[in-house]
Chains A and B, each alone.
Chain A
Amino acid sequence: MIQSQKATFDIQQSSGSKKNVEVEIADLRKITEVVKNRYGYDFSDYAKSSFRRRIQRVIEMFQFNSVQEVINRLENDSSFIETFLAEITVNVTEMFRDPSFWREARDHIIPNLFLNHDTVNIWHAGCSSGEEVMSMCIMLKEMDILHKANIIATDIDKPILEKAKQSRVPIKNMALNEKNYIRYQGQKTLSHYYEEKDGMAILDPTLFAGVSYRNFDLVKGEVFNKFDLILCRNVMIYFNQNLQNRVLKKLHESLFKYSYLAIGSKESLIWCEIASNFIIVNNEEKVYKKIKD
């Protein structure tokens, strides 16, 4: 993660001297088309501003001289798509991001679910490198109900999903994660849950015995199960309104009635078509409850 920050920094440093390739909306359309036709991933409804910056970044990282070169590479080198996907979808995440959300989950959402259930089904939609799954499992462990949870974690990006499965975090990220955990007011310290090896914090694998990981594209994938709680925090911000509507319909279909959807603290459903099928349970933490099928 720090690695990628550094790359960004170096690019910025050199951007004054190097010729700057301006990526236009028409270029994004061309790239989207190739990726869709050749590989089946559809980015046409991604939020344009960050998609454009990501393409710009790919151009600078691999020193392409034009958008056409990116297109040629995508057309002629099928091994490039994984790297490309990783760069386009990279989403940096933290353990216990927004500690107040995790307190809300611990003190209200999860206890409410267990009023009527013996087990709960949880879906982390767009789990990235798995930090939220780790947070969830630690939280449930401390509530002594981890064995009563079935957790599914999905992501579009296969390599990052592999990373999530390994449940390891660069040790240099642990200071921030630990700070978040302290603000969450956990029972122990995070170091209780991991061993340090080769610069990585390796989390206790028994925490994740009830977690299954699968490759899933929120844009194209079919509804595959029903859940009591879906976490999709800071994922739909990469989509335009049109795609947010479609994905929200899918999430809505994947929820039991009176179950919960959590999105990022600065996301909102109010502009979505089926917003009226939800009520807001906590506006600060953006926790919604499905009230209509």
Chain B
Amino acid sequence: MSKFKVNNKYKAVLIGGSAGSFQGVTRILSTIPKDFALPIIMCLHRLKHVRHGFEEALSIKSSKPVTEPCDKESIKKGGVYLAPSNYHMSIELGNTFSLSTEAAINNSRPAIDVTLDTASYAYRQKLVGILLSGANKDGASGMMRIKERGGLTIVQDPEECMIDTMPTAAMSLTTIDYVLRVDQIIEFLLELDQQYR
């Protein structure tokens, strides 16, 4: 019995997170299968002057290596990507990343809104957006864009969040398809993965 209404139309999974999201992210990355069907693209708030360490810390916990893409790098089917420090990360039509050093948005660079907005433009209804714990409103308007363009929206259950400002802001701005705990998000991703097998 499937718990979620999923099918195999999706092309990418985006994850946004800030304060209190690290544990959730590592739980997700350590549980997904090595050959997970879709690219996972993450934009997580991070210290702007620390270029190294985050990618490595996530990779240790992850079942697949995590990479910080260079500008114009192609998005590969099974890749796990992390927005590099002090750059905004966008998705281009034609399945590549592009980076920018435009002003911080919501005091953040990388800003989750930038990645979600550009990804939802590129993938339209074929995008799953997941927003985890966080202490500001970054990501809310990006989730709204995903919804407007027909994609699927998921937030971490505010009850479970260390800081619930981020998912709550998204919930008040747009329709959220699923409000889930991390273990349910993992269940969702596994079920999603099954659609491609």
Render B119-134 as a binary contact track against A, CB cut-off 8 A, 1 for contact: 0011000000000000
Confirm or deny: A291 has a beta carbon within 8 angstroms of a beta carbon on chain B. Answer: no
**How distant is the Cα of A11 from the Cα of B113 in the complex, in angstroms?**
13
Confirm or deny: A154 has a beta carbon within 8 angstroms of a beta carbon on chain B. Answer: no
Interface residues on B, range: 35 or more
Confirm or deny: A16 has a beta carbon within 8 angstroms of a beta carbon on chain B. Answer: yes
List chain A residues, Cβ under 8 A from B100.
47, 50, 234, 237-238
Confirm or deny: B84 has a beta carbon within 8 angstroms of a beta carbon on chain A. Answer: yes
Question: Contact check: which of B87, B106, B173 meets A266 at CB < 8 Å?
Answer: B87
Confirm or deny: A32 has a beta carbon within 8 angstroms of a beta carbon on chain B. Answer: no
Confirm or deny: B104 has a beta carbon within 8 angstroms of a beta carbon on chain A. Answer: yes
Q: Which residues of A contact B (CB under 8 A)?
A: 1, 4-5, 8-9, 12, 15-16, 20, 25, 47-50, 52-53, 90-93, 97-100, 179-180, 183, 234, 236-238, 240-241, 244, 264-268, 271
Q: Is the CB of A49 within 8 A of B72?
A: no
The chain A residue sitting closest to B84, CB to CB, is A266
List chain A residues, Cβ under 8 A from B102.
50, 90-92
Q: Is the CB of A15 within 8 A of B141?
A: yes
Q: A1-B103, A183-B49, A237-B71 are in contact. Are A49 and B173 (CB under 8 A)?
A: no
- A-B residue pairs, 8 tightest by C-beta: A49-B90, A268-B70, A49-B118, A237-B71, A47-B98, A92-B103, A234-B101, A50-B100
Q: A12-B113, A237-B98 are in contact. Are A244 and B72 (CB under 8 A)?
A: yes
Q: Is the CB of A267 within 8 A of B141?
A: no
List chain A residues, Cβ under 8 A from B118.
49-50, 52-53
Q: Which residues of B contact A (CB under 8 A)?
A: 49, 51, 68-73, 84, 86-88, 90-93, 98-107, 113-114, 117-118, 121-122, 137, 141, 144, 148, 173
Q: Is the CB of B70 within 8 A of A50?
A: no
Q: Is the CB of B93 within 8 A of A5?
A: no
**How distant is the Cα of A159 from the Cα of B106 in the complex, in angstroms?**
26
Q: Is the CB of A47 within 8 A of B87?
A: no
Q: Is the CB of B114 within 8 A of A91?
A: no
Question: Contact check: which of B70, B107, B117 meets A267 at CB < 8 Å?
Answer: B70
The chain A residue sitting closest to B51, CB to CB, is A265
Q: Is the CB of B113 within 8 A of A241?
A: no
**How distant is the Cα of A20 from the Cα of B173 in the complex, in angstroms?**
14
**How distant is the Cα of A4 from the Cα of B71 in the complex, in angstroms?**
24
B123 to chain A, nearest CB (A): 12
List chain A residues, Cβ under 8 A from B98.
47, 49-50, 237
